């Protein structure tokens, strides 16, 4: 029998252990706790806490359960067991723990929030929202629960409900920086960047060391072209969180845009170090696929980055599927039977005034309607442009899925009996690859938007050609190749060029002299290619280089780099974006287009060729660095493809000095423009139709081939 003096002594020793525990002397605290069991449930609990803190989860659970044996109505113990089980990923057991705690204390608002989190992790979003709702009904000013509920609504695509929740969290008086940050994300997604910036700054005001808020603020500022301010905030995010891979990636992208090569090199090295330190258990690479191919031309490396991202997407979708398999059952058994027509579904957010819209807008009408139904599933803004209107009018169905969450969008595609789903985004901005990860169509294909592999097992094919992805690169693609005969890139053969005859002076160009030009985005301009450009200018003294300006700082940086190489800064002339028809007309002022190396011009190259201006390119080692070669060969000018920088420089210099040779090339280009395969959209559509027929035939026969050649 325990006496009062024994009880007093145990409490004293327990308090000593608590102090040691708080000071971090876990071993000493542990020894005292061990001497206090089995009499004290609290000692079992704190032993469990120590084991939890030191990563010994099984031992933590064991001690928590021992505490329950002596104190079965302790809600905190159930909470601790749930937290430990969550570490092990045993989410169904976690839910049971929290439910047991609620049975003991039905009005515990905190336990309902914990239960909501666990249900959300299981993918059971409907019950998660019910649980959060119960929490706030018990405690109406429970800001944290409102914030968590808002996150679930946001994932469901219910931005209006998410916004209400975040504002209730902000107004709760709890000062929740995460709620301000999340409100900022909602406004950014709605396109209200000013409000987004306002709420990110509120989050930082509450929590000055909030790295995620600095990162989101930087993203919003970059979108408003305040790149210099964005860079300051990316740096701050990285300072607060040195392993913040996404912030490092986005800082790299902005430094690329500004051509700040000194800091860029250091930051790329930092990203490389972070990548090397990523543990195999981490689902996702710290690198972003769209950045990876611009800083590395190694197809193996880029494949691994893409694969890590697709694996993370697959795992996320698998969790949702496991939680509600009955509601998400996309079965295609009946599809093997012949249908009257094959339904093709194109998926994108760029059916608008965008490079993808420019290239594709004439294709949809040309598909064989005796064989195919053509559906376009748009998850982008409706900009009412001529491109969007043409696409809407020339496909069979134009379905706006922007307001649907990923699952509902996938269900819509499945209900429409799409046979072949073609994603046009890949890892480019605004993608919704999660829709494809649900596998709403029996055959799925990626095309055009992303110059490389997705690394995903939920795509069967990639539409390509033998130049951009030669057979020996197949190990670096998760998808099987569909080789089109001439060039993978579709072009709009009806693309209008303004009839306006621009004068050189209108763009600050000299009246006389040779004009080299590059209108590729500035992130593609690397130091090595710029040095080659300066060598070309040095050997052609009467020439200038005409570039598209991204930002005044970019202009300053490039002019400084030119001066360091003894080229007069004024020989670099910068221009702004123009509407497409006008842009194509002004291209005619250039004598020769210079391509970039690691990432070629894609639409910019085909634009120049359509305008009648030859493009010199350098054949690289991965998809993004081989696109221009594919385009140039398909327009019948393979002599403009070079294999190394010396060849590239010599060809540019020779053409600048030999007027007749250049004019002959231009004449050949103007003749080929209307006859060569590159701009023959009719034949391109026929080849796509052949590819789709082969794909579907292979699916129906159960023999999806390794490669399809048209």
Distance of CA 337 to the CA centre of its chain: 37
603 or 330, higher pLDDT: 603
Displacement of CA 282 from its chain's centroid (Å):
18
pLDDT above 60 (res 466): yes
Let me know: does 236 contact 203? Beta carbons within 8 Å: no
pLDDT at 203 over 70: yes
Backbone dihedral angles phi then psi of residue 445, each to the nearest 5 degrees: -130, 140
> Is residue 470 very low, low, confident or very high in pLDDT (cuts 50, 70, 90)?
very high
Least confident of 91-100, 244-253, 321-330: 321-330
Tell me: the pLDDT tens digits for 396-405? 999 999 888 8
Degrees, nearest 5: CA angle 233-280-286: 20
The pLDDT of residue 434 is above 60 = yes
CATH class in words for 504-679: alpha beta
Q: What pLDDT score was predicted for residue 323?
A: 55
Query: What pLDDT is recorded for position 3?
Result: 47
- CATH code of the domain made up of 4-216: 1.25.40.10
Q: Find tokens 């985005």 and name the residue.
A: 521
Q: Read off the pLDDT of residues 46-71 as tens digits, 9 standing for 90 and up.
A: 777 787 777 788 877 787 788 777 88
- What residue spans define the domains of the chain? 4-216, 333-493+687-709, 504-679
Mind listing the pLDDT tens digit for each residue in 10-44?
777 777 767 877 888 778 877 777 777 777 777 77
Express each pLDDT in 510-538 by its tens digit. 999 999 999 999 999 999 999 999 999 99
Please state, in angstroms and as integers, the Cα–Cα distance from residue 48 to each residue in 26, 97, 514, following that order. Answer: 12, 16, 77
Residue 344's DSSP bridge partners are 374, 420
Matching fold, domains 333-493+687-709 and 504-679? yes
Does position 672 have pLDDT exceeding 80, yes or no? yes
Cα-based angle 697, 321, 82 (whole degrees, multiple of 5): 160
Of residues 594, 573, 575, 572, the one with CA closest to residue 583 = 575
Q: What is the mean pLDDT of the chain?
A: 92
87-123: pLDDT as tens digits = 777 878 888 888 988 999 999 999 999 999 998 888 7
DSSP strand E in 107-246: where?
Answer: none
Query: What region, left, alpha or beta, does residue 323 occupy, with left being phi > 0 and alpha being psi -120 to 50 degrees?
Result: alpha
Q: 662, 666, 660, 663: which is closest to 651 by C-alpha?
A: 662
- The predicted pLDDT at position 122 comes to 81
Determine how many CB atoms are found less than 10 A away from the CB of residue 356.
23
Asked if residue 318 lies in contact with residue 350, where contact means CB atoms within 8 angstroms, the answer is no
pLDDT for 342 beyond 60: yes
- N-terminal to C-terminal alpha carbon distance within the chain: 89
* pLDDT at 1 (0 to 100): 41
Do 571 and 562 contact (CB within 8 A), yes or no?
yes
Sign of the torsion angle spanned by Cα atoms 20, 22, 26, 31: positive
Q: Which CATH number fits domain 333-493+687-709: 3.10.129.10, 3.40.50.1820, 2.40.128.260, 3.40.50.11380?
A: 3.40.50.11380
Local confidence band at 319 (pLDDT 50, 70, 90 cut-offs): low
Mean of pLDDT values over 365-378 = 97
pLDDT at 210: 98
Residues ≥6 apart with Cβ < 8 Å to 233: 214, 215, 217, 218, 221
For residues 518 and 525, the answer to whether their CB atoms sit within 8 Å is: yes
- DSSP alpha helices (H): ranges in 361-437? 363-366, 386-394, 406-415, 433-437
357, pLDDT greater than 70: yes
More confident residue, 191 or 2: 191
């Amino acid at each position: 029998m325990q006496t009062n003096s024994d009880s007093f002594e145990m409490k004293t020793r327990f308090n000593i252990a608590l102090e040691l525990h708080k000071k971090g002397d876990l071993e000493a605290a542990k020894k005292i706790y061990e001497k206090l069991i089995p009499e004290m449930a609290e000692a079992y609990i704190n032993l469990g806490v120590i084991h939890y803190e030191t990563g010994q989860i099984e031992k933590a659970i064991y001690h928590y359960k021992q505490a329950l044996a002596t104190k079965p109505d302790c809600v905190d113990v159930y909470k601790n067991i749930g937290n430990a089980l969550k570490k092990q990923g045993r989410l169904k057991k976690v839910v049971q723990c929290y439910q047991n705690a609620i049975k003991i204390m039905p009005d515990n608002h905190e336990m309902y929030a914990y239960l909501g989190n666990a249900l959300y992790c299981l993918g059971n979003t409907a019950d998660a929202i019910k649980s959060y709702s119960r929490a706030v009904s018990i405690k109406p000013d429970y800001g944290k629960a409102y914030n968590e509920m808002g996150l679930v609504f946001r994932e469901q695509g219910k931005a209006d409900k998410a916004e209400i929740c975040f504002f209730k969290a902000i107004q709760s008086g709890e000062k929740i920086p995460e709620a301000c940050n999340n409100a900022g994300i909602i406004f950014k997604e709605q396109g209200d960047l000013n409000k987004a910036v306002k709420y990110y700054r509120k989050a930082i005001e509450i929590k000055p060391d909030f790295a995620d808020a600095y990162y989101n603020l930087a993203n919003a500022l970059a979108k408003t072209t305040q790149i210099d301010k964005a860079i300051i905030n990316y740096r701050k995010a990285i300072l607060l969180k040195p392993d913040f891979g996404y912030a490092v990636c986005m800082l790299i992208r902005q430094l690329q845009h500004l051509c700040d090569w000194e800091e860029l090199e250091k930051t790329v090295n930092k990203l490389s170090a972070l990548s090397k330190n990523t543990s195999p258990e981490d689902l996702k690479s710290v690198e972003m696929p769209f950045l990876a191919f611009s800083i590395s031309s190694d197809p193996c490396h880029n494949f691994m980055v893409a694969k890590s991202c697709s694996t993370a997407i697959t795992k996320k979708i698998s969790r949702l599927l496991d939680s509600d398999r009955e509601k998400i059952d996309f079965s295609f058994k009946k599809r093997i039977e012949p249908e009257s027509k094959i339904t093709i579904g194109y998926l994108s957010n760029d059916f608008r005034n965008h490079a993808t819209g420019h290239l594709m807008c004439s294709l949809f009408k040309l598909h064989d309607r005796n064989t195919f139904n053509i559906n376009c599933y748009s998850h982008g803004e409706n900009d009412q442009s001529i491109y969007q209107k043409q696409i809407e009018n020339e496909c069979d169905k134009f379905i706006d899925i922007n307001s649907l969450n990923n699952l509902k969008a996938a269900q819509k595609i499945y209900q429409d009996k799409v046979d072949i789903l073609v994603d046009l985004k890949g890892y480019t901005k605004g993608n919704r690859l999660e829709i494809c990860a649900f596998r709403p169509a029996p055959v799925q294909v990626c095309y055009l938007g992303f110059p490389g592999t997705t690394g995903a097992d939920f795509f069967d094919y990639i539409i390509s050609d033998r130049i951009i992805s030669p057979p020996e690169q197949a190990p670096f693609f998760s998808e099987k190749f569909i080789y089109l005969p001439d060039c993978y890139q579709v072009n709009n053969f009806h693309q209008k060029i303004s009839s306006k005859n621009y004068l050189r002076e209108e763009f600050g160009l000299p009246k006389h002299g040779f004009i080299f030009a590059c209108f590729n985005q500035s992130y593609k301009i690397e130091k090595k290619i710029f040095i080659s450009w300066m060598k070309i200018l040095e050997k052609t003294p009467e020439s200038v280089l005409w570039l598209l300006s991204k930002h005044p700082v970019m202009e300053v940086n490039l002019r400084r780099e030119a001066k360091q190489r003894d080229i007069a800064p004024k020989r670099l002339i910068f221009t702004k974006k123009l509407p497409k028809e006008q842009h194509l007309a002004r291209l005619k002022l250039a004598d020769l287009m210079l391509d970039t190396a690691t990432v070629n011009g894609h639409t910019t190259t085909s634009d120049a060729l359509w305008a009648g201006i030859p493009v010199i390119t350098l054949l690289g080692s991965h998809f993004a660095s081989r696109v221009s070669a594919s385009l140039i060969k398909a327009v019948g000018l393979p002599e403009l493809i070079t294999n190394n920088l010396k060849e590239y420089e010599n060809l540019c210099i020779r053409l600048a000095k030999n007027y007749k040779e250049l004019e002959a090339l231009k004449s050949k280009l103007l003749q080929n423009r209307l006859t060569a395969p590159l701009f023959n959209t009719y034949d391109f559509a026929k080849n796509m139709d052949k590819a789709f027929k082969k794909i579907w035939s292979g699916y129906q026969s159960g023999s999806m081939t390794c490669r399809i050649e048209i």
